[in-house]
Amino acid sequence: MKELKYFNICYHSNILDNKFSEYLSSYSNNSFNYDNHEELIDLINTKDIHVVITKYNFELLKQVRVLDKQIQIIAILDQLNDTHLLQSLELTQIKFIHNLNCINDFIDTLKICIKNLDSKTSNIQTLKNDFVYDTYNKILFKKNVLIPLTKKEILFFDFIFKNSNIALSYDKINNEIWNGSMTQDALRSLIKEIRKKTYKELIKNVSGVGYRIDI
């Protein structure tokens, strides 16, 4: 992952086992570890840190966010709950990982963070009618109330937000969401449920093509 060499990454000494720390050392020219909160703050103040990998601590991360609005945060926790997800709206640019144990998930998360750093975009998408969608953690809110989504709805939201500048064809939706087994009734039912949970104008039908998101 050659993109890593252009970014400064810091992580808590006790949070990454050998395979994760070796991965960072192999691909990043500038990775730093820290032992306590004071060292983390000092690194942010002196090293132009781009990504922080840490155990979740809301008060600490609020300090980080005051120092830098764009730092990408990968927060590792044992159990994710609604309070954490609500706090993510305040912190922004934070991706939760539940029990870090898969190197591929870790790499995918780094790629997402780096893409957002490059594009200078936020993971928090403000929609109409007081809806907010967190593209990192795939969570939908309305006025700070969590809106439950099914697995298929999450897949659809994730796919359509990643391609928000284009209309997605039925074939692409079929391949991505249903692995080639989609029926028209299943697609119509999915769109209907999403519109019920949000609002009708969010998902636009593009005649003869497919669907796009209106944001």
CATH architecture of 2-122: 3-Layer(aba) Sandwich (3.40)
Residue pair 65/24 in contact (Cβ under 8 Å)? The answer is no
84-121: pLDDT as tens digits: 999 999 999 999 988 676 777 777 888 888 888 888 88
For the chain, residues classed under CATH 1.10.10.10 are 148-213
Amino acid at 99: N
Q: Give 207: exposed, middle or buried? Use CB within 10 Å, 0-12, 13-18, 19+.
A: exposed
Looking at CATH, the fold of the domain delimited by 148-213 is given as Arc Repressor Mutant, subunit A (1.10.10)
Exposure on the CB side of residue 16, measured as CA atoms within 13 A: 26
For the chain, residues classed under CATH 3.40.50.2300 are 2-122
* pTM listed for this prediction: 0.88
153-191: pLDDT as tens digits: 999 999 999 899 899 999 999 999 999 999 999 999 999
Write the DSSP symbol of residue 6: G
* End-to-end Cα separation, the chain, in angstroms: 31
Alpha carbons 152 and 1: distance in angstroms, whole number: 30
Which residue carries 């500038």 as its tokens?
A: 30
E-assigned strands of 56-207? 72-77, 94-98, 124-126, 131-134, 139-142, 145-147, 168-169, 203-206
Alpha carbons 190 and 151: distance in angstroms, whole number: 11
Kindly state the average pLDDT of the residues 5-15: 82
